[in-house]
Amino acid sequence: EVQLLESGGGLVQPGGSLRLSCEASGFTFSNYAMNWVRQAPGKGLEWVSTLGGSGSTYYADSVKGRFTISRDNSKNTLFLQMNSPRADDTAIYYCAKTDNYYGSGALDYWGQGTLVTVSS
Amino acid sequence: DIQMTQSPSSLSASVGDRVTIACRASQGIGNNLGWYQQKPGEAPKRLVYGATSLQSGVPSRFSGSGSGTEFTLTISSLQPEDFATYYCLQHNTYPRTFGQGTKVDIK
């Protein structure tokens, strides 16, 4: 059974930093591209970033240059380093698996999410 | 960027009703579209992939159709557990884009 468990959310000040983690199990982690998707309170879903199995990275314009996606295949863990967060980055952040290695596929399984609140 | 326009934004329906949700892409995306269901306080769950293929374990009352720019999610006979918000997502190009969601509630 595929399981994705996010952690690392919490309260962060504008301009600070935060690192989110997503621990994966139930599949061969290194064989799949992985994603972050967020949902602001009461709003819809917004794609944030994708990391392909080969290392290719993609970012939404809203986070480019501030957020960095990475992975540690030895620990089956995906990360999102959030630098210089802004109030409009406040959201639940979901980790989601892609159904192929390269990142060209669809999102199939999602974690339960971790809440990030950016406020002073 | 590809814009995904979903309609309606909300609808009220009764148990047993047939429900149709539409999603239009601003340019052709082939069949690179998925449908997701999200209940309050829960993570999204994939229902349909490749525009028309049903995710394993999803009831057969759900179906997807379309290709190119016009897509539809149909629930043939709405059940109490189907009251939720539904999203389409295109994975043809980056950035990935979602429709704005359709909230299905009880009439």
Q: Let me know: does A82 contact A15? Beta carbons within 8 Å.
A: no
Backbone angles phi, psi at A75, to 5 degrees: -115, 10
Interface contacts A/B by beta carbons within 8 Å: 54
Instruction: Give pLDDT tens digits for B22-65.
Output: 999 999 999 999 999 999 999 999 999 999 999 999 999 999 99
Instruction: Give pLDDT tens digits for A50-61.
Output: 999 889 999 999
CB contact (8 A) between residue B101 and residue A44: yes
- Checking if the pLDDT of B106 tops 90, the result is no
Helix (H, G, I), strand (E, B) or coil at A45: strand
A60, closest residue in chain B (CA to CA): B95
CA distance A64 to chain B (A): 11
Residues of chain A whose beta carbon is less than 8 angstroms from a beta carbon of chain B are 35, 44-47, 50, 58, 60-61, 94, 99, 104-113
Helix (H, G, I), strand (E, B) or coil at A18: strand
In this prediction, residue A84 carries a pLDDT of 97
Residues of chain A with pLDDT under 70: none
What confidence category does residue B86 fall into, taking pLDDT thresholds of 50, 70 and 90? Answer: very high
Q: Which amino acid is at B49?
A: Y
Q: Which of A47, A50, A110 sits opposite B98 (nearest CB)?
A: A47
Query: Which of A6, A45, A99 should one mutate to test binding to chain B, selecting the residue with the greatest count of B CBs within 10 A?
Result: A45
Q: Which of B89, B99, B101 sits opposite A107 (nearest CB)?
A: B89
Mean pLDDT (whole number) for B77-92: 97
In this prediction, residue A69 carries a pLDDT of 98
Q: Let me know: does B43 contact A94? Beta carbons within 8 Å.
A: yes
Question: H/E element holding B33?
Answer: strand B33-38
Q: Which of A50, A105, A110 sits opposite B44 (nearest CB)?
A: A110
Q: What is the 3-state secondary structure (H, E, C) of A67-118?
A: EEEEEEHHHCEEEEEEECCCHHHCEEEEEEEECCCCCCCCEEEECCCEEEEE
In this prediction, residue A93 carries a pLDDT of 98
Residue A1 CA to residue B53 CA, distance in Å, equals 21
In this prediction, residue A9 carries a pLDDT of 98
Q: Which amino acid is at A47?
A: W
Q: What is the 3-state secondary structure (H, E, C) of A76-88?
A: CEEEEEEECCCHH
